[in-house]
């Protein structure tokens, strides 16, 4: 495509990754090259390109963009259009569902690898993501798998963990999320993989074309669009989901731990 359009390879990569939007002048010849000639569809896409140029999201401003990884920037853009999100988090509560105190405690474990400025930016970023998720108008269906160890791990201390667990209970009570806990028992599946999220842009079972995988380990993260890898991770998620406590039992377990911490 870069060769056909006489663009640099880096330009194509930046457009594909969502780092930059595409201009109307670039989009029209690109659509011709791709064989998209239906007038109504062309005008719809051009209008969308124009709108994307006008709408600068908060995470695209210099105070955030230079301190966030390209994968996080792309993930936050995808979250805006998500229909379903599946969180596989065997160690901690996922970032978008964290309270500010819990977020800070998690990120301070990377103080030797991340600058204070970067940590502060990511604390603010996670709080804004949480606020966006709590918007009552529209939100994706969220399915969260946590290992039972998360309920015991006092990230930031007992009070911080209690507040975090109570926040999860509020989200469960409001039917904003569905949570299942992987129990400490022999027949339950072992959460072997690192944390990952599957963001589905269409609520269609098994449609890997409309989904992306975000995974992270330590300070390394990436967006994966390989259909086979997305399918495999979805299968693992489903297997663990069905092997975990059901939602009612899981909510009761979370409540018991929050009460004990109080």
Residue 115 sits in a domain of what CATH number? Answer: 3.30.870
Going from the C-alpha of 33 to that of each of 50, 60, 85, 86, 129, the distances in angstroms are 20, 29, 34, 36, 37
Same domain, 243 and 217: yes
Same domain, 44 and 95: no
Most confident of 43-47, 52-56, 148-152: 148-152
Same domain, 120 and 135: yes
Question: Given this model, what pLDDT does residue 86 score?
Answer: 95
Same domain, 70 and 39: no
Same domain, 51 and 149: no
Question: Given this model, what pLDDT does residue 70 score?
Answer: 83
Same domain, 122 and 25: no
**Strand ordering across the sheet containing 196-200:** 177-182, 141-147, 84-89, 196-200, 211-217, 220-224
Structural domain including 173 reads 60-261
State which of 38, 55, 72 marks the end of a domain.
Answer: 55
**Tokens encoding 45:** 């896409």
Same domain, 151 and 189: yes
Same domain, 226 and 123: yes
Question: Given this model, what pLDDT does residue 238 score?
Answer: 94
Maximum Cα–Cα distance across the chain? 64
Question: Given this model, what pLDDT does residue 75 score?
Answer: 87
68-83: per-residue pLDDT in tens? 788 888 888 888 778 8
State which of 19, 34, 55 marks the end of a domain.
Answer: 55
| Residue 46 near residue 27, CB atoms below 8 Å | yes
Average the pLDDT over 138-154 and give the result: 92
Pairing of strands 211-217, 220-224: antiparallel
The count of domains in the chain is 2
Question: Given this model, what pLDDT does residue 215 score?
Answer: 92
The whole-angstrom separation of Cα 118 and Cα 173 is 34
**Tokens encoding 213:** 């995988």
The whole-angstrom separation of Cα 208 and Cα 233 is 11
pLDDT exceeds 80 at position 188: no
| Residue 176 near residue 251, CB atoms below 8 Å | no
The whole-angstrom separation of Cα 5 and Cα 12 is 10
pTM of the model: 0.78
Question: Given this model, what pLDDT does residue 204 score?
Answer: 62
Specify which residues 197 forms β-bridges with: 87, 214
The whole-angstrom separation of Cα 27 and Cα 44 is 11
State which of 27, 55, 83 marks the end of a domain.
Answer: 55
Question: Given this model, what pLDDT does residue 73 score?
Answer: 82
pLDDT exceeds 90 at position 48: no
Pairing of strands 84-89, 141-147: parallel
Same domain, 50 and 68: no
Beta strands in 46-140 (DSSP E): 84-89
Same domain, 65 and 12: no
Same domain, 226 and 192: yes
Same domain, 23 and 126: no
Mapped onto helix, strand or coil, the DSSP state of residue 11 is: helix
What's the CA angle centered on 146, arms 94 and 78, to 5 degrees? 35
């Amino acid at each position: 495509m870069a060769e056909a359009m006489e663009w640099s390879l880096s330009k194509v990569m930046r457009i594909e990754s969502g780092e930059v939007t595409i201009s109307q002048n670039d989009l029209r010849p690109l659509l011709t090259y791709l064989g998209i000639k239906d007038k109504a569809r062309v005008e719809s896409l051009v209008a969308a390109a124009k709108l994307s140029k006008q709408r600068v999201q908060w995470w695209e401003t210099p105070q955030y963009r230079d301190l966030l990884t390209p994968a996080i920037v792309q993930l936050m853009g995808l979250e805006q259009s998500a229909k379903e999100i599946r969180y596989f988090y065997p160690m901690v509560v996922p970032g978008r569902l964290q309270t500010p105190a819990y977020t800070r405690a998690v990120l301070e474990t990377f103080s030797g690898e991340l600058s204070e400025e970067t940590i502060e930016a990511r604390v603010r970023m996670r709080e804004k993501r949480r606020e966006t998720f709590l918007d009552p108008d529209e939100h994706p269906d969220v399915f969260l798998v946590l290992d039972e160890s998360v309920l015991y791990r006092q990230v930031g201390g007992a009070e911080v963990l209690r507040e975090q667990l109570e926040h999860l209970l509020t989200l469960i009570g409001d039917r904003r999320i569905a949570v299942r806990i992987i129990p400490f028992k022999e027949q339950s599946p072992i959460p072997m993989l690192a944390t990952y999220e599957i963001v589905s842009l269409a609520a269609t079972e098994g449609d890997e074309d409309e989904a992306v995988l975000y995974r992270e380990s330590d300070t390394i993260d990436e967006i994966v669009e390989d259909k086979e890898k997305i399918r495999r991770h979805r299968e693992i998620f489903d297997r663990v989901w069905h092997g975990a406590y059901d939602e009612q039992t899981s909510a009761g377990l979370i409540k018991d731990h929050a009460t004990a911490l109080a």
